[in-house]
């Protein structure tokens, strides 16, 4: 069980878009960002709603131009999830977004040159009780255009730490920014300190979590496409979350942002930081014993479960009866494949033995029926485990056992 760091709590949202709390005793939330242009209103609405349907607790949109903030007034009434406006360089965009009714502002005070302008944004947020995320991302905290200034900034702080300069700059800049907010007595704040380097992400958030009690928005910037970005993101985020650090997360991919939500939620589910919505799928990796197309079956089962199952039913898709029963322990529903067949168990009871082409339909039928039983109160999730050895695997699943027996010298289980 993960013990989370104690932080302040912020709240955002409204009746029409729902409320989300970040920090304190609130569950860790998942957010994402639209990839399209905000000014393309219909497309933006569709993308926000797709992310909301995938389970995003809040969705961020970029507002680089006035036409983007103007679009917000039309977008907001059409969406059902709180919206965060992502502001860089132009404080007016923040004021326009606040006026349009957004629920949170993401600001990097470092790229808004005039402190008075930052104060204007703070006061506007204060008046409307809108929180602000302060980002000190690695990519945007150090001066890039002015080489002299950049060198001065990089040389202005020193540390022996592996990530010395950047870590020191991130914390120093954050202190600097927070002073502005404290001066305005504004504490409706979430902090982020992202980097592309997973180890710097860990060090930066640890350092910040030790210094400030504001909730933290975790993320790795520019993590790349999902294929490689998953590991780059999940490695540091898991480390931090397991240490109790992190109150809201965004996984960033150069891929469809729906994956950011799906993977973010899955990370929180497997760490026990969120209550799972929908089925949990277990599947074996397959090996030389496999006698059905398990990879395809698993993908088909995954897609259908996501569409049809609301409850956190544990479903196991196992390639054979050798290790399957042990490996899927705790599953409510399991299928063990054999020689082009599959035996289906529901909470320890064998309910079907079907040819490969019928496995998907038969398994989903059992899942739907089990879900209905649980909802009626006639069954409980996780009540009986699938701790089964098929009574007659050779007869029911075909020659898989013969093959295994011959190759590995295995003995058939004792039939009782
Ligand atoms: S369940 Fe069977 S097929 Fe799947 S990996 Fe284990 S031993 Fe191999």
Query: 304 exposed, middle or buried (CB, 10 Å; 0-12, 13-18, 19+)?
Result: middle
In this structure, are strands 341-346 and 349-355 parallel, antiparallel, or unpaired?
antiparallel
| Cα 217 from Cα 220, distance rounded (Å) | 10
The Å distance, Cα 337 to ligand 1 centre, comes to: 9
The Å distance, Cα 78 to ligand 1 centre, comes to: 48
Q: Decide: 69 and 41 in contact? Cβ < 8 Å.
A: no
The Å distance, Cα 286 to ligand 1 centre, comes to: 5
Which residue is associated with the tokens 């406006």? 85
Give the N- to C-terminal CA distance of the chain in Å, as an integer.
39
Atom 5 of ligand 1: nearest residue by CA position: 286
Atom 6 of ligand 1: nearest residue by CA position: 323
Which residue is associated with the tokens 């910037």? 221
* pLDDT given for residue 171 in this prediction: 85
Considering only CA atoms, give the Rg of the chain.
Answer: 26
SS3 33: strand
* pLDDT given for residue 102 in this prediction: 97
With a cut of 50, list the residues of the chain below it in pLDDT: 157-159, 162, 390-394, 399, 412-416
| Cα 390 from Cα 396, distance rounded (Å) | 8
* pLDDT given for residue 414 in this prediction: 44
Which residues neighbour 226 within 8 Å (Cβ) at sequence distance 6 or greater? 253, 255, 259, 263
Q: Where are the alpha helices (DSSP H) in 157-272?
A: 164-183, 198-211, 226-242, 257-270
SS3 42: helix
Which ligand 1 atom lies nearest to the CA of residue 336? 1
DSSP line for 68-100: HHHHHHHHGGG-SS-EEEEE-S-HHHHHHHHHH
* pLDDT given for residue 213 in this prediction: 95
């Amino acid at each position: 069980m993960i013990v989370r760091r104690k932080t302040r709590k912020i709240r955002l949202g409204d009746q029409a878009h729902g409320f989300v709390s970040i920090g304190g005793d609130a569950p860790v939330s998942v957010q994402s960002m639209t990839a399209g242009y905000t000014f393309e209103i219909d497309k933006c609405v569709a993308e926000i709603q797709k992310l909301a349907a995938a389970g995003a607790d809040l969705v961020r949109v970029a507002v680089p131009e006035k036409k983007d903030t103007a679009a917000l007034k039309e977008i907001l009434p059409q969406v059902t999830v709180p919206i965060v406006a992502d502001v860089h360089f132009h404080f007016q965009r923040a004021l326009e977004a606040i006026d349009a009714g957004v629920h949170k502002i993401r600001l990097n005070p470092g790229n808004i040159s005039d402190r008075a302008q930052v104060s204007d944004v703070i006061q506007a947020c204060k008046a409307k009780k809108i929180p602000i995320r302060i980002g000190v991302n690695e990519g945007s905290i150090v001066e890039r255009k002015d080489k002299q200034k950049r060198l001065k900034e990089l040389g202005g702080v020193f540390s022996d730490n592996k990530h010395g300069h950047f870590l020191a700059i991130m914390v120093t800049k954050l202190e600097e920014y927070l002073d502005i907010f404290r001066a305005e007595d504004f504490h409706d704040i979430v902090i982020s300190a992202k980097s592309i380097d997973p180890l710097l992400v860990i060090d930066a958030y640890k350092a910040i979590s030790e210094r400030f009690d504001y909730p933290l928005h975790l993320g790795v910037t520019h993590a790349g496409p999902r294929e490689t970005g998953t590991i780059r993101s999940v490695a540091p985020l898991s480390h931090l979350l397991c240490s109790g650090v992190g109150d809201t997360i965004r996984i960033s991919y150069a891929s469809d942002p729906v994956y950011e939500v799906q993977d973010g939620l899955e990370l929180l589910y497997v760490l026990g930081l969120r209550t799972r919505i929908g089925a949990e799928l277990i599947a074996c990796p397959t090996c030389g014993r496999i006698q059905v197309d398990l990879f395809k079956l698993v993908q088909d089962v995954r897609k259908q479960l996501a569409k049809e199952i609301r409850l956190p039913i544990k479903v196991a898709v196992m390639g054979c009866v050798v290790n399957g029963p042990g490996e899927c322990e705790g599953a409510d529903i399991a299928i063990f494949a054999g020689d082009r067949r599959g035996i289906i168990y529901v909470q320890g009871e064998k309910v079907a033995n079907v040819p490969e082409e019928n496995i998907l339909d038969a398994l989903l039928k059992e899942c739907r029926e089990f879900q209905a039983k649980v909802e009626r109160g006639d069954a409980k999730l996780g009540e009986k485990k699938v701790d089964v050895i098929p009574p007659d695997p050779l007869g029911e699943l075909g020659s898989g056992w013969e093959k295994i027996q011959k190759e590995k010298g295995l003995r058939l289980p004792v039939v009782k």
